[in-house]
Chains A and B, each alone.
Chain A
Amino acid sequence: METEGRYTLVGTLVLAVVAVMAAALVWLAGAADRIAYQTYTLYFEKQSLDGLAVGSPVKMRGIKVGIVDGYRFARGGDEAVSVTARIDEGVPVHTGAVAYIKRNLVTGIAAVEIDNGPSGSPLLVQVPQGERYPVIAEGSSDIDRVATAVSRLSVNGAQVLEKMNTLLSEDNQRALGRTLANLDELSSHLAANKQSLDTLVQAMRDAADEFRFAGASIGQAATRAEGSIVGVGDHASVALKEAVVAMEKLQRDATLIAARVQQFTDTGSLEMTNVSRDVRTSADALTTAGQRLSDPRAILFGPTRQQLGPGEKLP
């Protein structure tokens, strides 16, 4: 009698526990259904979703307002990824809001950051045709803008370097070298032919004089022309003399600079030789001193008879 009564009690308790568990499951499922959120679809085409996972936070001004519910490749090409985000119902998402991926630089963990649209704009509730939820457009982060600027800067820098490289190309260097050589040759010739140029100018002046005498009968016009020719000759003479002086000075300066550079090089080389010798001599002297100190007995008690030199004696 007692045994049967215990079975009844155990069965009753088991049934009660099962009923409580069933009630709990029903209650939890119902509560989950009653959690208030709004779902949006975000398409990311330009940004990488590396570090983003289901459950990753969706933030607005740095505050978590929802989670990533799922993602998949969108149909229609362009390798765009469709991300479904659940955002708390009380968070107003305005028309014009954009979303971008914000990634921790150290951990690499990504989150979706929503830059809300103007506060005066209407709430984003309209569902586009063919979509299940309202769509938040893709934006760009500050890091993307910085990266774009850096990329543009690097491209510009590369172009500048390329132009400098072109400017300093071997062809240009050779051309510059040839120009300097020609300039040097020109100055040398001008300096060497200075006397000839003076003679030429003098000859021109003489010719002008003869022309003036011979053309005295031609009249006043011919006289004015003759004066002009003399003037041109004088100006050319002055210009040539100044050019010759400038070229000679240029040649002297170049020679002086070359000599000074050579002198600087030679002096530096000798100084280095002396310094290295001094270092070597000091090292040798240190070695010798060390060898002497290696025999403390000789330092304390003086030399032995075997160490004495020729003709030396101990008292």
Chain B
Amino acid sequence: MRRALFVLAVALSLGGCVNFADPSGKSPEVVNYVLNDGTALASRTPVRAGAPLLLVLDTTAGGFYDTDQMVFARSPATRGYYQFARWTDRPGKRFAELMRARLDGQGAYRVAAAGGYVLGDLLLDTELIDFYHDASSEPGTMRLVLRAELIDLRQRTLLGRQTFEHTVPLARFDAAGAAAAADVAVGQALDALTAWLASLR
């Protein structure tokens, strides 16, 4: 009896080391893509004197999108994850970094991450509502929907609220094409966002 239990324990321990998913050892490798600003600024503008201090909160995203996995949709009502393609960072967090870099390079604001001991003049709050590869047709499109709110911290008032929607066609029907189109969509969203902020000044 004791010997049988010992054999069973050894078998279970060794079983944990077995990869059932890849018996042949030829499974595709996971590719990690970096999300970039597709229309990055050619040159940086120095921050002008007396520019308001803009606090930029991290971009939030829904539970399904707040992951490093790339999302696709074969129909409007369904979503799925690419199995062998991932982002190097969660899209919401990465988008906030690209947004701060873009605003910082324009020189219209003194940009800082919200929190800590910085007392700001304005607060920018953004939410990534949709960010997926629409694969209902080949090669499909990359869809990005962003909602932004600008708040005056001095007066505690909402200065503006805007939703941006961008759809960029893919060049190829795979994760690499989706990642390239996502860069372009992010660039377009940041263009629209900065223009909207300028209209509120």
Contacts and interface: CB of A to CB of B under 8 A. Distances in A.
Interface stretch (B21-29, B41-49, B187-195): B21-29
Contact of B83 (A270, A273, A301, A312): A312
A95 B120 CA distance: 86
Contacts of A311: 172-177
B131 interface: no
Contact of B153 (A266, A288, A308): A266
B119 A310 contact: no
A307 B176 CA distance: 18
Contacts of B55: 270
A105 interface: no
B62 A284 contact: yes
Contacts of A267: 116-117, 119
B57 interface: yes
B63 A287 contact: yes
B81 A309 contact: yes
Interface string A45-88: 00000000000000000000000000000000000000000000
Contacts of B176: 311
Interface in B123-182: 123, 133, 135, 138-140, 153, 172-178
B115 interface: yes
Contacts of B114: 270, 273-274
B66 A288 contact: yes
Contact of A277 (B60, B138, B139): B60
Given A274-B114, A277-B60, A287-B63, A301 B81 contact: no
Q: How large is the interface on A (under 10, 10 to 19, 20 to 34, 35 or more residues)?
A: 20 to 34
Nearest to A307: B83
B72 interface: yes
Contacts, number: 93
Interface in A284-308: 284-285, 287-288, 300-303, 307-308
Contacts of B139: 310
Contacts of B85: 309, 312
B83 A309 contact: yes
A285 B80 contact: no
A78 B153 CA distance: 74
B83 A303 contact: yes
A121 interface: no
A128 interface: no
B99 to A, nearest CB: 16
Interface in A221-269: 263, 266-267
A266 B115 contact: no
A159 interface: no
Interface string B58-75: 101011101100101000
A309 B85 CA distance: 9
A156 interface: no
Contacts of A310: 72, 82, 133, 135, 138-140, 173-175, 178
Interface in B1-48: 20-22, 24, 26-28
B45 to A, nearest CB: 27
Contacts of B175: 309-312
A281 B27 contact: no
13 contacts: A266-B153, A270-B114, A271-B116, A273-B57, A274-B57, A277-B58, A277-B60, A285-B67, A288-B63, A309-B70, A310-B72, A310-B173, A312-B82
Closest 6 CB pairs of A and B: A311-B174, A302-B21, A309-B82, A284-B63, A315-B26, A303-B83
Interface of A: 263, 266-267, 270-271, 273-274, 277, 280-281, 284-285, 287-288, 300-303, 307-315
Given A277-B57, A288-B66, A302-B27, 16 more contacts: A263-B119, A266-B119, A267-B116, A273-B57, A274-B57, A274-B115, A284-B66, A285-B66, A288-B63, A301-B20, A301-B21, A309-B174, A310-B138, A311-B177, A312-B85, A315-B28
